[in-house]
Structures are given as structure tokens and as C-alpha cells.
Amino acid sequence: MNEPSRSTSYRVGRLWRDGGWQRDASFAVDAGGALVDANDGVETIGQWVLPGMPNLHSHAFQRAMAGLAERRGRADDSFWSWREAMYSFAAVIDPESLQAIAAQLYVEMLKAGYTRVCEFHYLHHRPDGTPYAQAEAMSLALVAAAREAGIGLTLLPVLYMSGGFDGRALGERQRRFGHDVDGYLRLLDTLHAHADDDLRVGTALHSLRAVPEAALREVLASPRVRTGPIHIHIAEQIGEVQDCLAIRGARPVEWLFDHAEVDARWCLVHATHLTEAETARIAASGAVAGLCPTTEANLGDGLFPLAAYLDAGGAFGIGSDSHISVSPVEELRWLEYGQRLLTRRRNIAARQPGASVGETLWRGALAGGARASGLPIGELRAGARADLIVLDDNSPLLAARDEASVLDSWLFAGNTPLVRDVMVGGRWQVRGFRHRDEERIAQRYRRVVDSL
């Protein structure tokens, strides 16, 4: 990465701080890439400056197959038929191609306004299930891609052990995902040695169907897992809920809360199919609901009970998951629009009269994304990491917009990209809509995808 921009102090027209707009603000960046208060700025960088958005759920390799599963294959096309196509694609990915795909994806994320990504990573081994000579080679390919692109990375190596709630062995196409508990904990140890200001390592349990109860207990009891975020796919599909009920005698969220100490370190990804009691239980725990509206719509998953969850004080964040879309605007827009279609009402996320939907969604996704990332990010205050985005104040979409309407206009009033500049850890990665290395990264991506 380029060095932090600590030699310059910056002046902004309006800075998003403490959940609202501060006028005529100035800041500088210290040697560690953190924000420092300044009395006056030398360089004016824009009228609208916001914290960068954390992307709390990503499967990077799937970016290269986005759009290739949109032809009807059978009458009951669903998540499960899509998964078969995904397995076939996953079988041809190696460390070199993974790095190329992920770097391209991460450039796209930065240009869209994401400044950190939580990578839910389960492509560990060779396609036949045998380890690479360097066992962590696939994980390190993602680390290298994030460093190339300049995005912050929370790497979440995934424990994947069984092919269903009944404990069946992994299928042939799942073998490269698999670890036993000892091998998984060794992987965590190895990756923790690479952690720094730009790389955080957490824990991911693929799902209840893929992690037997004894393994879940052993992993959660390990000293290696007692700090940092814990992510899990849960209650995404009706079939998953039915299987959990049939074999474990409880719904997935209900079972998890009865068998683990779920707290603010946890991110429950999707959590689509919930009872009222489960919704309230997640909210009360402090866990983050990891919502991925464009992927959930693309796969036909269903709709999260947003209104009841927000009324219960629940935390949420957004992710682009399979990357059928790479845009926090679209994720937040469709989070709200799904609720409007479901209820035939408007302005669902804004739970109080006069509240802004855009501000409510942006504020909530920043806070939940930071928690899911395991870092104190998502804020522009002294001492916080300098992860920020600058909107294009020359855009016609923002003409005559004031502090009360700019976020609503950005999220709901057009599709023209408005993220002009992006700083991560005090380093400019995007200026004037251009990433500093996008041509080289895109050329390599095209070569790799052609070869696949």
C-alpha cells in the first residue's frame, strides 16, 4: 500500500461524525493511519465525507461466476440448484486465480464505498481435498489481494466438517472445504501470525449443518477463538430450518442460542427465517444480523423481519455475499424495498416520525459492520482509523440537497456512482473515481477468467 497521507491536513464541508453531519470540519492523519483533529485543513476534499462501509459477508471467488447462473435449469430452481453450479465453479479455483478474482472484486468494493471486507473463506485445499504444500495458500491469496487493492480485510477461515445435519461425510465437491478441529485451529494459529492493522483474523462456522455439536463446543472453547468476531450462516433457507427441526429438535437460531453463548462478537449471516421469539433473542444478545439483500433476492431466500428486529433494538450490517451486485447503495436500497413490497407501506426502516430512512440504514450498517469486523471502525473521530469516502458534490443527483436529504438522495434517487474518493487507513486508494491500480488488476482478472 502507499504510505498514510499524514503530511496533509484536510478540510471538508460536512463530515459525518457521531451519527450526523458536522459542518466545516478539519482533520489530519497520523503515521498509523488514524484520524487526528486539526484546527484547519490545507486541502479541501469535498462537501460530503462519510465513514467507509464495512462489507460483512463475502465469498470472493463467486464474483467471477456472477450472472452465469441465470438460465432456468429445472422447474424448481432454488438456492440448492444454484449451489451445484457454484460447486462446479469452485472446483477450478486455485491460489493464483483466487488472488486475481479477489483483487478485482476488492477494487470494485472500494470504488463503491466499502473500505473493509469480511471474507467468509472456505476454499482451503486442492479440489480433491488434499492440502496445498503451504496449507494456508488459499487464505494468503486473499490477504495478498486485499493488500494489492488496499482494502481492510477481516479474514474468516471457515470450519466445514459434514454434509448435513445427519453428520454425513462431505461430498466429493465439498472435500476441499473440510478440516478436522485440530487442523482448523492450526490454520487459525498460522493466520494470526500475519495479522496487522490492515488484517484481522476471526472465526467462521459454516453452518449448523456443516459443524457437528461436539466440534462447535470444542472450537468455541479454544483460547484461539475467545477474542475476535465469530460468523455463521444460519436460517437462510426453509429446508435448513426443516432439517434442523427434524434432526436436532429445534430451529437453527433457537438451537444455537441454547447451545452457545451468543453475544456481540457473533454475526448471524442471513438469519432470514425467524420466529418472533428468535428475532427478539438475536436483538437482545447484541449479535449482528448479517444481511445480504441482493444475494438473498438472487437466490430466492426470503425476507428478513426488519421492522420487528429494529423495534427490538437489533444490530445489523450488510454484505455483498455472492457479489451479484457490489454496492452498499443497492444492498441498503433493497433492504428497504423488500420490506415495502412485503408490507405495502413506505419508509419502513425509519421507525420514528420524521426519521430519515437513508440515515437510519447508513448509521445502522456502519455500526453493525464495525462490530462484525471486530474493529472500532465506521466512525470519523480522533483516534479512529481513517477509512472514509468522499461523495461527488458536483453530481446533479446531489443538486440542492441539504444535510437532511443527501443520504436519502444517494441511496434512493439514482444509479450514477457518487463515491469519488476513498481513503483506507489514511491512504488514498481511489481519487476521482479511479483506483490507483485498477488497469493492471483488471487486465490480470480478464486473463484469469478467460483461462477458467
Supply the pLDDT for residue 41. Answer: 78
Supply the pLDDT for residue 396. Answer: 96
C-alpha to C-alpha distance for 107 and 333, rounded to whole angstroms: 22
Q: In the predicted model, what is the mean pLDDT of residues 280-292?
A: 98
Average pLDDT of the chain, as a whole number:
95
Q: How does pLDDT run across 379-401, given as a tens digit for each residue?
A: 999 999 999 999 999 999 999 99
Residue 426, classified by CB atoms within 10 Å of its CB into exposed (0-12), middle (13-18) or buried (19+), is buried
In the chain, residues under CATH classification 3.20.20.140 are 53-373
C-alpha to C-alpha distance for 115 and 129, rounded to whole angstroms: 33
Angle among Cα 434, 332, 274 to the nearest 5 degrees reads 140
Confidence of residue 5 (pLDDT cuts 50, 70, 90): low
Domain 53-373, CATH homologous superfamily name and number: Metal-dependent hydrolases (3.20.20.140)
Of 134, 141, 122, nearest in space to 62 by CA = 122
**Active-site annotation, residues:** 270, 321
Buried b (16+ CB within 10 A) or exposed e, 85-108: ebeeebeebbbebbbbbbbbbbbb
Supply the pLDDT for residue 191. Answer: 97
Residue 307 pLDDT exceeds 60: yes
Q: How does pLDDT run across 190-229, given as a tens digit for each residue?
A: 999 999 989 999 999 999 999 999 999 999 999 989 789 9
C-alpha to C-alpha distance for 253 and 233, rounded to whole angstroms: 10
Among 68-72, 262-266, 293-297, 335-339, which stretch is predicted with the lowest mean pLDDT? 68-72
Confidence of residue 54 (pLDDT cuts 50, 70, 90): very high
Residue 446 pLDDT exceeds 90: yes
Q: How far is CA 48 from the centre of its chain?
A: 23
Percentage of the residues of the chain whose pLDDT score is greater than 90: 90
Supply the pLDDT for residue 4. Answer: 61
Secondary structure class of 452 (helix, strand, coil): coil
Supply the pLDDT for residue 2. Answer: 60
Q: In the predicted model, what is the mean pLDDT of residues 236-265?
A: 97
**What are φ and ψ of residue 326, in 5° steps?**
-125, 80
- Contact (CB, 8 A) for 32 and 197: yes
Supply the pLDDT for residue 71. Answer: 82
Supply the pLDDT for residue 7. Answer: 58
Longest distance between any two alpha carbons in the chain, whole Å: 64
C-alpha to C-alpha distance for 149 and 311, rounded to whole angstroms: 38
Q: How does pLDDT run across 75-120, given as a tens digit for each residue?
A: 677 776 778 888 888 899 999 999 999 999 999 999 999 999 999 9
Supply the pLDDT for residue 78. Answer: 76
Helix (H) / strand (E) containing 447: helix 438-451
Residue 356 pLDDT exceeds 60: yes
Helices (H), 263-305: 276-285, 293-298
Name the amino acid, one letter, at 168.
Answer: R
Domain 8-51+379-438 has CATH 2.30.40.10: yes
HSE of 150, CA atoms in CB hemisphere, 13 A? 29
C-alpha to C-alpha distance for 379 and 357, rounded to whole angstroms: 19
HSE of 422, CA atoms in CB hemisphere, 13 A? 28
Angle among Cα 96, 100, 105 to the nearest 5 degrees reads 145
In the chain, residues under CATH classification 2.30.40.10 are 8-51+379-438
C-alpha to C-alpha distance for 419 and 431, rounded to whole angstroms: 9
